Structure 1
Amino acid sequence: MDRTQLLSDQDEVQAVESCPAASYTDQDLADDGASAPPADLMPVVPGYENLGPNVIPPSNFGPAGPPYPQAPTNDPARHFDIPAVTEELAQEAFINYVTSKCCYSSKPAKEMIFTDLHSLNTYRYRLETFTESRTTQWASEPYNGQVVDGFNGVAPPPWSIPVPVAALFQDCKKAVRVPNTSTVKGCHSCLTLGRSACRSCVNSGRAHCGACNGTGRIHNGKRCRSCQGSGIMRCSACGGVGSLTCTTCKGKGKLLCFIKLKIAWKNNVYMVVIDKRSGFPVELLNDISGEILRTDMAPMVYPVVGFPDSSVNSASENAVREHQAQFSTSCRILQQKQTIELIPITRVHYTWNEKTHIYFVYGVQHKIYTKDYPAKCCCCSIL
């Protein structure tokens, strides 16, 4: 089915559940409406014989061939070096850091003597693969005279139903009703009565008095005023009727049953920081922004080639292959984006009181990391 035909069928799709772009969980995808009758009571719909939580493989995987096209020529030669920060900036950032610590003396930061400032080019590679997966299941809602289309034609295959994407690279979920699958069934929960027995009074309409615990007497031996000494009161749950409105069919006695197509969009991220083994803990870079050197976005990106640091090329090659193998047969890959960032890190060597120490200035925010500040009280053992 081509794209023109898909779009022409879009008006037939009825949305039954949707959400704005957001993180999702299995709970988010749970049914909010009435539960459907057991599967063995439902008709068999051609093309939907195996309903359930397992994702449906995409109906088309594109042309056969290598996992990605032939890579383009190498990037033009570029210099991706960031010079070390100046001594003035390094000391200013260090002083600001020290003054923010209540138990640090500012003397080392103000009196230190620089011995070396070494710039470390640290790259962060990130591949985002935006996928769409689909599952189907029977669902239902109380029947209020809605249109029943189960006999109007053949139900379209799951992957031929057009569902627009809310936003790229953002987790989201939607659920739509599959056309030509709806039918009316008697409610299985109440056996078409519209009401179900009250569990509190077991359909009797009466319950033990809570004030006297069903004895008719209170603690001082006097007759209970709440039940007038009978120990029995009208059931508060059902109002003495003995039954409650069925929560499945909302009292209608009938359900409109249909196949629900659930769509989940997920942004799958592969990220790696090229560690220079400098002693700097790279996990501190998770919330640090850097200078973006390159961004590629396409339905299928090429692995990076010709980057000055071969570790970045290898990381990109591994990421593209891994995501292609992981998602191409179970999901539909809609878009990919890869980014290379340069995060400035400068290792500073200094002396104070004739001893050598080290600290790092990192990120465009000029944050500080050190584990051996020479003048702090004993209570500040964790930085």
Structure 2
Amino acid sequence: MSEVRRDIVVAGASAGGVEALRSLVGSLPADFPATVLVTMHLSAGARSALPMILDRSGPLPAAAATHGAPLRAGVVYVAPPDRHLLTDDGSVILTQGPTENGHRPAINAMFRSAAVTAGPRTVGVVLSGTLDDGAAGLRAIVARGGEAVVQDPADAVYSGMPSSALAAVGAARVLPAAELGGALDKMVRMPLEPADVPPPSRALLLEDRIARDGVRLGAVRPEAAQSSAAYTCPDCHGTLTEVASGQYRCRIGHAWSPEALLLAQDTEFQRAVWTALRSLDEKVALAERLEHDARHRHHSLLTERYAGTARECLAAANTLREFLLSLSDKPRAEDP
């Protein structure tokens, strides 16, 4: 019987993660005996140069992942924009499943997929980034017998994701980016000791199926839901349900952690206030035009009425403008 080794490395990064990924990939040897899958948060309409950057960073070939490509040892597959990067039966799977924490590709989706399909043969790596994407997925990898590796928060440009991962998985190996490649090379060459690994839980299988199937009605089933939350999904404005401790999904599958939900709600709130400010500015301009026309026709009552409307709207607009400018001075998590 051939020895079983860890042959799947899944690495997730967000803000500040390009340099960490370059260090990781650049320090892997040319004979690295495992497949490397990389997800970095990207905007849906973005064009990613990450495959080219990583291809030039070290001896391993790196390329944008394509649907159905076989998982090959010593190759780096990078998630393309607007697609979750998953695995299935020794192949790469790309899907347009629901966004998670507002992202597609999402790190949690890739980590959960590897946990389901490769179990103990998986090594999950969380690198620099804000908020907490990757923490829940890394916990799933460890629960299935896989290994967890986290960039030292002190070494990361943004420590949010590494710190959240360590809070979720206390047994993770913590290393600076420059030492990750060497550590991973040793880990994937060591034979796995036989161990009783629990099968994927129903909750894990459901989460993974949602990422594979795409947006669909009934993504949150009654048996998986813990409680209804009085929150609204920022993506589709549907009701969110708590499906795990601190994890929320809407009926069609968009997923949110509390931190990501808070940031998304803040963004939505500011967008609504800016819309109100624009409406007030337009109302001021229209009222001033009507005031001018009424004065030209010597309608004194209408002139005063429109002038009053313009003054009231201008005062409200100035109050909103000052409020929005004050928000811009407050620190907030960077958008990757």
**Superposition TM-score, scaled by structure 2 size:** 0.25
With a CA cutoff of 8 Å and minimum separation of 6, indicate the structure with the bigger relative contact order: 1
Give the structure with higher Rg (CA). Answer: 1
Bigger share in strand: 1
Bigger share in helix: 2
**Superposition TM-score, scaled by structure 1 size:** 0.22
